[in-house]
Amino acid sequence: AFILGSLLAVITIGILTPLASRWVSRYVGTNLRYGGKAFDTDPQLGPLYKSWLLSFLIALVGLGIIALIVFMNLSLILPMIETPGALTPEQQIPLVISAVIGYIVLFATFGIAGLFYRAGVRNIAWSATTFDGQHRMLSDISRTRYTWIAISNVIVTLLTLGLMRPWAAVRMARYTWEHTGIHFTGDVGELFSRIEAQGSAVGSEFMDFEGFDFGF
């Protein structure tokens, strides 16, 4: 699911990425257990492609900016192609600056597109997950907020030479799980009583914690 799905996404230039995401989500979701009770995940391709389309448009914007940079420097690029060494080092400076800007735009837009897509897939996959065949999971993280936290975490981690990496990990975990929940059908007390009665260590430990909020 992870290796072949990723390969499928790459060889189709991202077009089948939602299919790969569905494959991975179904594999992970259908193999989760809690207190002997099974989860089931079946995200639909329609919502996944809607999330993918937004990321695709963001990536297209980045490619458009890069194409504009190349077009603006054609008067310098063509002489170098026709006659290598035709430009002096001073004349090559604008090309170097443009290349650096192009790389920054490329990594920034594709990074943002990837983070937007990851957040969208998480919402779709979790919201398409059921527990014990009836209790529905949900996720409502904001794609813009998620992207900001991820990018700022990387910047802080780099600036502190990795010392703030634990803080960054906790910051991201706190945000994602604060926007994850479950909608119970029926009496939640009866559910955990059944889990405890089955002799599940997980269920027993859960029932021993007074005031402990249910969560994953």
| Number of folded domains that form the chain | 1
Domain containing 155 equals 47-185
Cβ-proximal residues to 32 (8 Å cutoff; 6+ apart), any chain: 38, 39
In-domain check, residue 17? no
Global confidence as pTM: 0.81
The torsion angles phi and psi of 176, rounded to 5 degrees, stand at -65, -40
Q: Tell me: the pLDDT tens digits for 8-35?
A: 999 999 999 999 999 999 999 999 888 7
Domain membership flag for residue 178? yes
Domain membership flag for residue 179: yes
Residue 56 resides in a domain: yes
Intervals of the chain under pLDDT 70:
85-86, 198-216
Is residue 154 a part of any domain in this protein? yes
Is 153 a domain residue?
Answer: yes
In a domain, 11, yes or no: no
Q: Is residue 156 part of a domain?
A: yes
Q: What is the pLDDT of residue 198?
A: 66
| pLDDT in the model for residue 64 | 95
